[in-house]
Homo-oligomer: A and B are copies of this chain.
Amino acid sequence: MTTVHDVARRAGVSIATVSRVFGRPDAVAEATRHRVLAAAGELGYAPNTSARALVRGRTGYLGLLVHDLANPFYATIAKAAQLEARHRGLALFCADYGDRPDEELTLAKEMARHVDGLLLYPSQPADDALRAATAGLGPAVLIDSPVEGVPHVVMSTAEGVDQAVAHLAALGHRGLVYLDAAPTSMFTSIDRRRNIETSCARTGIELTVLGPFSPGFESGVRAADLVIGEGSTAVVAFSDQMALGVVRRLTERGVRVGADVSVVGVDDIWIAAQVTPALTTVRMPCAEAGAAATRLLADAVDHPGGTPASRVVLPTELIVRSSTGPVPHGGTR
């Protein structure tokens, strides 16, 4: 391993100058700088990251902790976070707590030791306990977990769901079934359910909440039978995966989706646009969330005394496709 000493000797300067060339290049005369750079090039020198981190008190690393890295929802957040971090000269650790939500905090604590700041998508409720837990971790930004006093970015389904309900109402639907998902204590669940409630109340649509189900395709399949039983003309599901399950089962039972029953999902996963009928859904801005959170975190790391607790709310939008249509003739509610 080549060090500042090797480069210094070769370039005929002191180690301090070598250090400056890589740390604050403009503090060095151009001629000297070139000489040092040349020597460094020949020797294949690059500053040792550990040594630099030690003396600077900054690692240049950020950490991301989510529920499931293989899930496109989180993976998209991770990808965007990683990109944004790189643009700022930072690197990103990625980890997920998978089946062990109880280990979430342990993991966060462990990660915190290695990084300048943490990006957290908690499975815990956004309450005081989370704030307390977050307190000892150093700079942290929460995603989809609006905890007062802690910077966070949330994807709000308010607009998207509102548009969905309005869309359904405009199509003549008088009522709808919402398929809720567990864990109901997560912001994601709360947000979607609450927005459905207020939108329906405001629009005068009769709302029936079913569930909570485990999120996922199979739950949608099971829920579809309930929906048919209810005689509903419209259903909004917690996620596209559930909605797709509903569509599948409905079709299987001879119910024409988009004609007899309208189905709306949330997330806008890629397959939603490709199935038949194409799924009407609320798009979640995962990439934007990942990037925004990283930006917030990087800023917090750079300015330890900055805005105490920034808050970013990302809007959502309804994508209308073919799984929704006019209420069938003679349809009751």
Contacts and interface: CB of A to CB of B under 8 A. Distances in A.
Interface of A: 1, 44, 46, 48-51, 53-54, 57, 59, 61, 68-72, 75-76, 78-79, 82-83, 86, 91-96, 98, 111, 113-114, 136, 217, 244-245, 248, 251-252, 270-271, 274-276, 287
A76 B86 contact: no
Contact of A96 (B44, B82, B287): B82
A71 B69 CA distance: 11
How many subunits of this chain does the assembly comprise? Answer: 2
A51 to B, nearest CB: 5
Contact of A69 (B59, B79, B270): B79
A95 B92 contact: yes
Given A46-B113, A54-B48, A78 B72 contact: no
Contacts of A92: 93-95
A121 to B, nearest CB: 14
A6 B160 CA distance: 54
Contacts of A96: 79, 82-83
Given A69-B75, A70-B79, A95-B91, A114 B248 contact: no
A244 B270 CA distance: 12
A114 B91 contact: yes
A244 B48 CA distance: 48
A49 B136 CA distance: 17
A111 B95 contact: no
A237 to B, nearest CB: 14
Nearest to A85: B95
A51 B245 CA distance: 52
Contacts of A53: 50, 53
A48 B78 CA distance: 26
A244 B75 contact: no
A117 to B, nearest CB: 14
Contact of A75 (B50, B70, B93, B252): B70
A95 B96 CA distance: 15
B54 A50 contact: yes
A180 to B, nearest CB: 21
A70 to B, nearest CB: 4
A274 B245 contact: yes
Contacts of A75: 69-72, 75, 78
Nearest to A63: B91
A248 B271 contact: no
Q: Which 10 A-B pairs have the closest CB atoms?
A: A50-B53, A94-B94, A69-B79, A75-B75, A50-B54, A70-B79, A70-B76, A70-B75, A49-B114, A51-B54
Nearest to A75: B75
A69 B70 CA distance: 9
Contacts of A275: 275
B78 A274 contact: no
B82 A95 contact: yes
Nearest to A48: B54
Contacts of A69: 75, 78-79, 82
